[in-house]
Amino acid sequence: MIDSSKNIRPGDILRKKRFGGELTETEIRAFVRGVVDGSFADYQISALLMAICIHGMSDRETLALTLEMARSGEMLDLSRIPGIKADKHSTGGVGDTTSLILVPLVACCGVRMAKMSGRGLGFTGGTLDKMESIPGMRVDLDVDAFERQVTDIGCAIIGQTAELAPADKVLYALRDVTETVDCMPLVVSSILSKKLAAGCDVVVLDVKTGSGAIMQTLEDSRKLAQMMVRIGNLSGKKFSAVITDMDQPLGNYIGNALEVEEAIDVLAGRTAGDLKDVSLQLGAHILKGAGAVSSIAEGVEMLDGKIASGEGLRKFAAMIRAQGGDPRVAEDTSLLPKAKSTVELRADEPGYLAAIRTDDVGNAAKLLGAGRERKTDAIDPAVGIVMHRRVGDKVRRGDLLATMHVGERSDRIGAYNLLRRAIRIGTAPVPRPTLIHDVIEA
């Protein structure tokens, strides 16, 4: 068969999308190939990403992009690992540390977690960056080591291997720094291409909604969730989605080592609240999808039992050890990188914490050095923000609202001003935000 996509030039595709045209499957194949083999330059790819953001993509284009990206590398076959293999993916948030909590807990319940994670994207944090704040921790295992670890201890969290959806690797890094993250077809194709290629049987998607989510309205979040579940289930795997709240940071700790610390606190049973609740809900959906429990309530109870028994924390330590990290952090979080100094933010008026512009909290953490401005930037694992109040809390004048953990390269004034503006205090009581907005099943 003659592959007609070989004759298509980057400029043809760019021009068509610039004026809002619908790309054919052949054009999309040419683009994805060009991304992977380097025949499309970064600036051409970036320009097309921006045109896609501006003009959108039809469902047909999105499906084609997803499938071409999934096929741009190896399609993993995890069938050598016994039992059901599950994965979970978040559309991204702030203080969104659920993977570090639910992966060991679910593994304790007998469902294997073969988790492939990403790095920070835009104002959102990434599990890999968080994991790497643990001294010695490696996230670049090859597929054989990944399979062995999932078989032996029941869980692993690694970066997408070089062979897996390589097109997404290129696009993800460019989107992060070109303001082209919050675009439905790009999010769908990015997440699903990896999940389709990664070989798990059960995938639970955590679709965030609110000011710290890629999709900020519930309507858009629901559309994204439905589209992903629809396209995902075409592949024969079991996809479901939970729409969860991101109208304030999920956990109270934002930043890489800080988020690891909070995850450990949850696993150790020292911290309860929204982060724990969402982690257990998502974990319960995985257990239910895998047939290990018959209801979400049963799943939540089983997972909570693994916190109470200490098994979850021990499993987390085992996963760290298996990936070359220092497992003592599970017992002693002072071994994590720590910032040299802190800056406090206090309430200058009394009232109720009315709203938090969560994306700006994420951006403030980024200004401190917790994320990247350019794709080659190094992050500072120690910096970040600890929030002391949640939406709906009553505050008095002078109450501590947040503590910034700052480093040498932090833009502390920029971060402080952004954070100050992100937290709004009002005079009237406000209800606490709903945590779980919806569940989309196949």
Smallest gap from Cβ 112 to ligand URA, in A, equals 21
Distance of CA 278 to the CA centre of its chain: 14
Give the residue, chosen from 187, 361, 402, 404, that forms a contact with ligand URA under the rule CB under 6 A: 187
State the binding partner of 419 from ligand URA, Ca ion, none, CB within 5 to 8 A by kind. Answer: none
Under the criterion CB under 6 A, does residue 92 sit at the interface with ligand URA?
yes
Residues 6+ positions from 23 with CB-CB distance below 8 Å: 13, 16, 17, 31, 57, 61, 64
Give the residue, chosen from 118, 154, 199, 212, that forms a contact with ligand URA under the rule CB under 6 A: 118
Identify the DSSP state of 135. Answer: T
Q: Which two tokens stand for residue 12?
A: 């043809």
Question: For ligand URA, which stretch binds (CB under 6 A), given 23-31, 47-55, 185-193, 238-246?
Answer: 185-193
Relative orientation angle of helices 166-177 and 25-37, to the nearest 10 degrees: 80
Binding to Ca ion by CB under 5 A, coded x per residue (else -) over 176-205, reads: x-----------------------------
Relative orientation angle of helices 256-267 and 274-289, to the nearest 10 degrees: 70
Residues 365-394 that bind ligand URA (CB under 6 A): none
H helix count then E strand count, the chain: 16, 13
Smallest gap from Cβ 121 to ligand URA, in A, equals 6
Under the criterion CB under 5 A, does residue 372 sit at the interface with Ca ion?
yes
Under the criterion CB under 6 A, does residue 180 sit at the interface with ligand URA?
no
Smallest gap from Cβ 124 to ligand URA, in A, equals 7
Under the criterion CB under 6 A, does residue 91 sit at the interface with ligand URA?
yes
Pairing state of beta strands 202-209 and 85-90?
parallel
Under the criterion CB under 5 A, does residue 371 sit at the interface with Ca ion?
yes
CA distances from 245 to 70, 124, 160, 337, 439 (A): 29, 14, 26, 29, 12
Task: Give the nearer residue to Ca ion in terms of CB position, either 64 or 370.
Answer: 370
Three-state DSSP class for residue 152 = helix
Under 8 Å between Cβ of 205 and 242: yes
DSSP 324-335: T--GGGGT-GGG
Count of residues near Ca ion by CB under 5 A: 4
Task: Give the nearer residue to ligand URA in terms of CB position, either 228 or 386.
Answer: 228
Active site residue ranges: 89, 168, 175, 190, 194
Under 8 Å between Cβ of 133 and 256: yes
Task: Give the nearer residue to Ca ion in terms of CB position, either 306 or 372.
Answer: 372
Count of residues near ligand URA by CB under 6 A: 9
CA distance 343 to 80: 51
For tokens 């699903």, what's the residue?
Answer: 192
Name which of 119, 296, 133 is nearest 204 in CA terms. 296
Task: Give the nearer residue to ligand URA in terms of CB position, either 212 or 327.
Answer: 212
Give the residue, chosen from 191, 192, 266, 322, that forms a contact with ligand URA under the rule CB under 6 A: 191
Please report, as ranges, the residues that interact with Ca ion according to CB under 5 A.
Answer: 120, 176, 371-372
